[in-house]
Amino acid sequence: RTNESLNLVEVDENGVATDFRADVLQGLSEPQKAIPARWFYDDIGSELFEDITQLPEYYPTRAETEILSSCGAEFRERIGEGRAVVEFGSGSSVKAPLLLDAIAPAAYVPLDIAGDFLRASAEALAAKFPTLPVHPVEADFMRKVELPEAVSHLPKLGFFPGSTIGNMVARTATDLLRTMRATLGEGSQLLIGMDLIKDPAVLEAAYDDAAGVTARFNCNLAARINRELGGTIPLDALRHVARWNDDYARIEMHLEATRDIAFQVAGRRFTMREGETIHTENSHKFSRRSSTLLLLAGGWTPARRWTDAEDRFSMILADA
Ligand code: AVJ
């Protein structure tokens, strides 16, 4: 088998990611129902997330893009030449061109769990950078990834924009940072986006927009369970909730039952009382110190930090 096929996400005979069913059945059985945020991103969820990034209330994408487009010269100065850029969770690869323009790397390896989306995006990007070798890898970046042979001899720059690390609790985040270090190897660097703590009203608006796109994004998870796992969740009885948890410095998204409900998923029966929630996402926000501490715990030493003009978002360059 090739390196690529070894990285593939496990699926059952119906093509359903087996971990999805396991995560959902487990998560719905907990006293506080909870489903990992990674399962938002089927084709519909990925499109809805792209829509979220365009919303007036959702500042992180614009703030990060501002940093990426204004700090190119400093990136070039700080990031070693001739590296292979490995992007974790590349999605539609909208931010990569800004970095690739700035540092002109030796290769680009977009890595994503959504294969069709990944390949289409990689082709579009390769067309924009005709001399850049592009090697897409379909893989779950939470596990150590075998990188393509073609980049094995190159030093690596991990690229993890979007504050996706904020979706994870500290233990999972440190595990991931260590796994990335193992994937990238000795002497690698990491450029990571981390969203900053700010006025809770600004944060809550970013996750509960007036147009209701984030609500649709959240509710799509329940719809996906119905579609892929033979679920009977009454979607009209679930309401999108986004709230700031100050103790944990994070935005939480929940699906709240607006009445008592009972439903089935994969042949198993579940109930929710009115007001009970399924916790669907954490989006942790960081201070300068908490981001430093997290990176250090994950085996990375911060070397340089950039923020946007309004100090809403940070990008950190760290050394393995
Ligand atoms: C993709 C994890 C960066 O937490 O801001 C956006 C996902 N959820 N709106 C975030 C998300 C609701 C997003 N990340």
Identify the bridge partners of residue 160 per DSSP, sorted by sequence position. Answer: 192
Q: Kindly report the protein residue whose alpha carbon is nearest to atom 5 of ligand 1.
A: 283
Q: How far apart are CA 310 and CA 41, in angstroms?
A: 29
Residue reference for tokens 């592009």 = 134
- Please work out whether the CB of residue 220 comes within 6 Å of at least one atom of ligand 1: no
Q: Kindly report the protein residue whose alpha carbon is nearest to atom 14 of ligand 1.
A: 164
Alpha helix locations (H) across the chain? 3-6, 18-29, 43-52, 60-70, 72-78, 96-103, 115-128, 170-184, 200-206, 213-228, 288-297
Contact criterion met (CB below 8 Å) for 186 and 312: no
- Please work out whether the CB of residue 277 comes within 6 Å of at least one atom of ligand 1: no
CA atoms within a 13 Å half-sphere pointing along the CA-CB vector of 91: 22
User: How many angstroms does the Cα of residue 251 sit away from the middle of ligand 1?
Assistant: 10
Q: Which of 141, 281, 264, 164 is nearest to 217 (CA)?
A: 281
User: How many angstroms does the Cα of residue 164 sit away from the middle of ligand 1?
Assistant: 7
- Which whole number is the average pLDDT over 208-220? 98
Q: How far apart are CA 297 and CA 12, in angstroms?
A: 36
- Please work out whether the CB of residue 163 comes within 6 Å of at least one atom of ligand 1: yes
Q: Which of 113, 142, 283, 314 to mutate to test the pocket of ligand 1 (most atoms within 8 A of CB)?
A: 283
pLDDT digit string, tens, across residues 225-276: 999 999 999 999 999 999 999 999 999 999 999 999 999 999 999 999 999 9
| Tokens coding 310 | 């309004």
User: How many angstroms does the Cα of residue 92 sit away from the middle of ligand 1?
Assistant: 15
* Percent of the residues in the chain that have a pLDDT greater than 90, as a whole number: 86
Question: What is the bridge-based pairing of β-strands 107-112 and 137-138?
Answer: parallel
CA atoms within a 13 Å half-sphere pointing along the CA-CB vector of 290: 17
Helix (H, G, I), strand (E, B) or coil at 61: helix
Minimum-distance ligand 1 atom for the alpha carbon of 49: 6
Q: Which of 12, 110, 91 is nearest to 45 (CA)?
A: 91
Helix (H, G, I), strand (E, B) or coil at 81: coil
- Which whole number is the average pLDDT over 31-44? 93
Q: How far apart are CA 62 and CA 53, in angstroms?
A: 8
Q: How far apart are CA 193 and CA 97, in angstroms?
A: 16
- Please work out whether the CB of residue 60 comes within 6 Å of at least one atom of ligand 1: yes
Q: Which of 249, 255, 241, 260 is nearest to 293 (CA)?
A: 249
- Which whole number is the average pLDDT over 199-212? 98
Lowest mean pLDDT among 16-30, 45-59, 190-204: 16-30
Does position 317 have pLDDT exceeding 60, yes or no?
Answer: yes
* Percent of the residues in the chain that have a pLDDT greater than 70, as a whole number: 94
Q: Kindly report the protein residue whose alpha carbon is nearest to atom 13 of ligand 1.
A: 164
User: How many angstroms does the Cα of residue 2 sit away from the middle of ligand 1?
Assistant: 33
Q: How far apart are CA 28 and CA 282, in angstroms?
A: 17
- Helix then strand then coil, in percent of the chain rounded to 5, is 40, 25, 35
User: How many angstroms does the Cα of residue 163 sit away from the middle of ligand 1?
Assistant: 8
Q: How far apart are CA 258 and CA 98, in angstroms?
A: 44
Minimum-distance ligand 1 atom for the alpha carbon of 163: 3
User: How many angstroms does the Cα of residue 306 sit away from the middle of ligand 1?
Assistant: 20
Confidence of residue 5 (pLDDT cuts 50, 70, 90): very low
Query: Which pTM value belongs to this model?
Result: 0.92
